[in-house]
Every structure is written in C-alpha cells, then in structure tokens.
C-alpha cells in the first residue's frame, strides 16, 4: 500500500520561492501599487522554510482583518499584498491553459479574495489617463468586440509555430501577441498585472527561459511599453511604437541590457531621453568622500519654457571631480525680482513657490497617492502638505488627478500634466538627479 506521505508534493526550494516572491512583489508596480513591509517579512519566513505558503496566506488575511477592524487599513497596500501572495501561489504551481476559460481562471486566481469581479469578462468601456502619453487617454477594445477578438487572438497564437525562428522573429511576434491581448483587456481590473503573470506562464509553457529580474525591476516600464505599442495619434504625428516592448523582451529573453527607464518611453521625452541606450556594465560605482571644508556655494539657473525662473544655490566640491556626490541645496528662490506696479503672471506665482519644484521632482514619471508623495518628500503633516505643496501645483496646472471627477476617490493618485513634465524637463537631468538624491537622503 502506498504511504500517504508519498502523495505530498515536495515543497519548492528557497531559490524558486525567492524568485516567485520578488517577481510577484515587483509586478504590483505595473498598476502603480506597492506592497507593505509586513508582506516582505512574511515572504522571508516562507522563503526560509519557517512557514508554508498557506500559513503566509493566513498571516496576511489576519493582519488586514485586524487593521480593518480598527479602521487603520490601507486599501492599496492590502490589494497589493493579497494579489502578490496569489501570484506567488500561481508561479510556484506553474499551471497554464491558453484558452478563454483558462484566462478567466488565471484572472480569478490572481484577484481571488480581492475583487468580486475576478474572472468575469468585462461588459463596460475602459479608458485611462496615462503619464507616458503626456496625460492623454489610453483606450481599449469595446466590450461588444471583446469576445470575438479574444477568441481569434488565442486561436491564432495556438497555431503559431516557434520552431526554427530567429530570436528577433520570436521577440517581434511575442511582443505583438502580448500587446494585442493587453489592448483587448478581457477583464475590467488589474489588466497589466494579469498580462504580466500570463506572459511569465506562457513563456514557461512554450519552453522559453527568461530573466526574472526584468519583471521584478521593470514592471512599470512594461506597462508603459504596452501603452505605447497600442497608441496612435495622427494629429500629434505619433504612431504605434512596439520597439519599447520589444526591448523589454530582449532583456527578458536574451539578457540584453537595454536601459529600461520610463522617460525613454514618453511620447515627448526631453532631449537627453530621446535615444534609449543599452546599459554600460563597466561603469564604475565608486564614490569619493568630500572633505568637510572643500565645498563652495554655486548658483545655477533653471531653464524653463519661460526662461530662467529659479536660482538654486548648491554646495559643490572646490575641485572638478566627476563623482556622484550628495549635494547640499542651501537655497531655492526666484531668479528675478518683480518690478513694482507690474502684475506677476500666474506662472511666476507658481514658480515663486519652491515647494513646487520639490513636488514635481518627487512625482516624476509616476502617478502617486498623497501618502506616497509625502513619503518621498519626508513630510508628516498632511494638512500642510495639501496646502503648501499639492494645492498650488494642482491650481497651477502642473499636477492633475487620476480621477478628476471624483476628488475623494479611494484610489486617487496624482501625476504631472504636460506643463509639469515640461518644467521637470527644463531642470536638466543632472539637476533633477541631484535634487532626487537630496530628497532621498534629507527630505525637504
């Protein structure tokens, strides 16, 4: 008689579990979400074999039940944590079925316990404002055309033969298939995270190896690349651009080193972001310690569309050393005085507020909640942040709401308008980098 213990599946190894956790956590960025520190602690216990995946699930469920009972929950973190754990379960089992029913089952498993609509094909129109499009709208297939298009897309892919093809041909085809499936948008929620998990499982299914770090680190780029692959605006001289998605797949499948920073994907990138390079692995990361008394204050003007509007005073090393040092920004202020009797323009009033500069650098290419922006600025006073930072930037047309018709939307986020992007681009990459490091280390 066969022993019961013989039927127990072997627990995945720590390396496999670590890869699944890191990938699942990274994928949340595809929809602008981040997991909690608590989930990270739970993941480490599971990776090290201290708790099973089911015990990890119980811990997360109990954690948020307790927090919600005391009205201290965080809906976005809760969603990200629960979805990430669901994805870990899926990646460790490695089951996949390329069919309409199989896709519905996959979506249901990803969002199980999070959304009632999980696994249900959408019957409503879907559109979304996108940072990568300069605030323009990304649209998806109409619900009426969805069933037929989804079945056709799957049928064509099932018939495709990958044998004896070059890497370029495979990557071009995979990019087109994944971009088309994303544009069909079979489900109303979590479209990009669903497509990311499906991509991983499908690559395994057809026997292609991949570099898991690409999804772990660059899921937001994956989202933006999918947007660009499906966006066309003839009036703005913009056509479908699959090259960014193909570069993502080249890193994923060929271990190439394309620089997958999101500013390269923007429809109107600044000059320094117009040519996407491959990363140089030979670049030195060494740093030189600056002596205490060898810095001097230097004034620099910020060029914007309306001229030099700001002067930034920064402490620099006295000698010209090409190292990535942390600057000390000692003052930010208007670059010119307003003459008496002359009415200041609205743009002048916006730029006279140095908090605006910190805010747009903190938001950058992301779309963030109030909580996340405050964290990047190292601020704790919500009322002061809303009054002194966010409200002036929104009123000045530099920042917009993801849900403008619902200011109190529970998933409200903020992103730069085209005007805000232009101001950010006007800073220049070197100045932006220094301010970003300044915020990261010291706050405002």
**Residue 312's CATH number:** 1.10.10
Question: What's the domain count of the chain?
Answer: 3
Sorting pLDDT into bands at 50, 70 and 90, what band is 48?
Answer: very high
Identify whether 115 is part of a domain: no
| Contacts with 337 (C-beta within 8 Å, 6 or more apart), sequence order | none
76 lies in the same domain as 150? no
Say if residue 358's pLDDT is above 70. yes
Say if residue 389's pLDDT is above 70. yes
Q: What is the mean pLDDT of the chain?
A: 80
* DSSP three-state, residue 332: strand
Identify whether 394 is part of a domain: yes
Say if residue 170's pLDDT is above 90. yes
272 lies in the same domain as 318? no
What is the distance between the alpha carbons of residues 172 and 161, in angstroms, rounded to a whole number?
A: 14
324 lies in the same domain as 396? yes
Rounded average pLDDT over 296-322: 48
**Helix ranges (DSSP H) in 143-293:** 146-159, 167-184, 191-205, 213-229, 243-254
| Contacts with 375 (C-beta within 8 Å, 6 or more apart), sequence order | none
Identify whether 2 is part of a domain: no
279 lies in the same domain as 314? no
136 lies in the same domain as 258? yes
- Report the range of poorest mean pLDDT among 291-295, 309-313, 356-360, 419-423: 291-295
The per-residue pLDDT for 395 is: 84
- Report the range of poorest mean pLDDT among 173-177, 271-275, 403-407: 403-407
| Contacts with 29 (C-beta within 8 Å, 6 or more apart), sequence order | 219, 220
What is the distance between the alpha carbons of residues 327 and 316, in angstroms, rounded to a whole number?
A: 7
Q: Which of 195, 188, 180, 265 is nearest to 224 (CA)?
A: 265
Residue with token string 């402490």: 315
pLDDT more than 70, % of the chain: 76
pLDDT more than 90, % of the chain: 46
389 lies in the same domain as 241? no
The count of residues in the chain is 444
The per-residue pLDDT for 321 is: 32
275 lies in the same domain as 302? no
Residue with token string 């996959």: 106
Q: Which of 150, 168, 166 is nearest to 102 (CA)?
A: 150
Sorting pLDDT into bands at 50, 70 and 90, what band is 276?
Answer: very high
Say if residue 112's pLDDT is above 90. yes
365 lies in the same domain as 305? yes
128 lies in the same domain as 15? no
* DSSP three-state, residue 163: coil
Rounded average pLDDT over 373-399: 84
* DSSP three-state, residue 205: helix
Identify whether 390 is part of a domain: yes
The per-residue pLDDT for 311 is: 55
Identify whether 101 is part of a domain: no
The per-residue pLDDT for 313 is: 55
Q: Which residue has the higher pLDDT, 75 or 410?
A: 75
What is the enclosing helix (H) or strand (E) of 333?
strand 328-334
The per-residue pLDDT for 422 is: 79
E strands in 218-326: 295-304, 307-317
The per-residue pLDDT for 437 is: 67
The per-residue pLDDT for 272 is: 85
185 lies in the same domain as 140? yes
Let me know if 281 is exposed, middle or buried by CB neighbors in 10 A (0-12, 13-18, 19+). Answer: exposed
CA 420 from centre of chain:
18
Rounded average pLDDT over 17-43: 93
- Dihedral sign, Cα of residue 292, residue 293, residue 296, residue 297: positive
Identify whether 111 is part of a domain: no
Identify whether 257 is part of a domain: yes
What is the distance between the alpha carbons of residues 147 and 270, in angstroms, rounded to a whole number?
A: 40
The per-residue pLDDT for 54 is: 94
Sorting pLDDT into bands at 50, 70 and 90, what band is 320?
Answer: very low
Identify whether 86 is part of a domain: yes
Phi-psi bin for 375: left (phi > 0), alpha (psi -120 to 50), beta? Answer: alpha
Q: Which of 301, 263, 260, 335 is nearest to 426 (CA)?
A: 301
261 lies in the same domain as 325? no
Let me know if 178 is exposed, middle or buried by CB neighbors in 10 A (0-12, 13-18, 19+). Answer: buried
0.75 surpassed by pTM: no
Say if residue 236's pLDDT is above 50. yes
- Report the range of poorest mean pLDDT among 35-49, 293-307, 411-425, 428-442: 293-307
Rounded average pLDDT over 105-109: 96
Domain holding 136: CATH number?
1.10.3290
Helices 14-27, 75-93: crossing angle, 10 deg rounding: 140
What is the domain range of residue 20? Answer: 8-94
166 lies in the same domain as 276? yes
């Amino acid at each position: 008689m066969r022993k019961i213990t013989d039927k127990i599946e072997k627990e995945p190894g720590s390396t496999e579990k670590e890869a699944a956790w890191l990938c699942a956590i990274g994928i949340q960025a595809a929809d602008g979400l981040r997991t909690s520190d608590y989930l990270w602690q739970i993941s480490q216990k599971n990776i090290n074999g201290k708790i099973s995946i089911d015990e990890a699930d119980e811990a997360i469920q109990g954690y948020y039940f307790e927090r919600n009972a005391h009205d201290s929950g965080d809906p976005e973190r809760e969603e990200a944590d629960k979805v990430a754990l669901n994805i870990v379960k899926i990646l460790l089992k490695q089951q996949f079925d390329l069919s309409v029913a199989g896709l519905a089952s996959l979506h249901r498993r990803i969002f199980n316990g999070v959304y009632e609509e999980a696994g249900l094909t959408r019957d409503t129109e879907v559109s979304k404002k996108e940072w990568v499009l300069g605030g323009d709208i990304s649209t998806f297939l109409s619900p009426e055309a969805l069933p037929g298009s989804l079945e056709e897309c799957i049928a064509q892919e099932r018939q495709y033969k990958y044998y004896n093809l070059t890497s370029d041909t495979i990557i071009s085809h995979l990019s087109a298939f994944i971009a088309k499936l994303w544009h069909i948008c079979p489900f109303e929620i979590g479209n990009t995270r669903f497509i990311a998990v499906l991509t991983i499982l499908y690559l395994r299914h057809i026997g292609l190896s991949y570099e898991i770090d690409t999804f772990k680190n660059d899921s937001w780029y994956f989202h933006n690349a999918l947007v660009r692959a499906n966006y066309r605006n003839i009036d703005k001289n913009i056509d479908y651009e699959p090259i960014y998605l193909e570069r993502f797949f080249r890193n994923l499948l060929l271990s190439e080193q394309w620089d997958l920073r999101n500013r390269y994907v923007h429809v109107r990138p600044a000059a320094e972001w117009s040519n996407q390079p491959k990363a140089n692995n030979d670049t030195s990361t060494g740093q030189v310690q600056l002596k205490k008394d060898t810095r001097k204050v230097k004034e620099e003007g910020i060029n914007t569309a309306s001229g030099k509007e700001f002067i930034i005073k920064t402490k620099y090393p006295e000698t010209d050393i090409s190292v990535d040092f942390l600057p000390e920004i000692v003052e930010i202020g208007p670059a010119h005085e307003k003459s008496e009797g002359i009415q200041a323009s609205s743009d002048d009033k916006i730029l006279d507020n140095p908090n605006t500069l910190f805010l747009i650098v903190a938001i950058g290419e992301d779309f963030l909640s109030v909580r996340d922006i405050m964290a990047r600025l190292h601020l704790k006073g919500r009322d002061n942040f809303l009054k002194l930072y966010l409200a002036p930037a929104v009123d000045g047309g530099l920042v917009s709401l993801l849900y403008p018709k619902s200011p109190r939307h529970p998933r409200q986020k903020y992103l730069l308008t085209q005007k805000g992007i232009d101001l950010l681009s006007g800073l220049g990459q070197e100045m932006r980098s220094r301010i970003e490091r300044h915020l990261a280390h010291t706050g405002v």
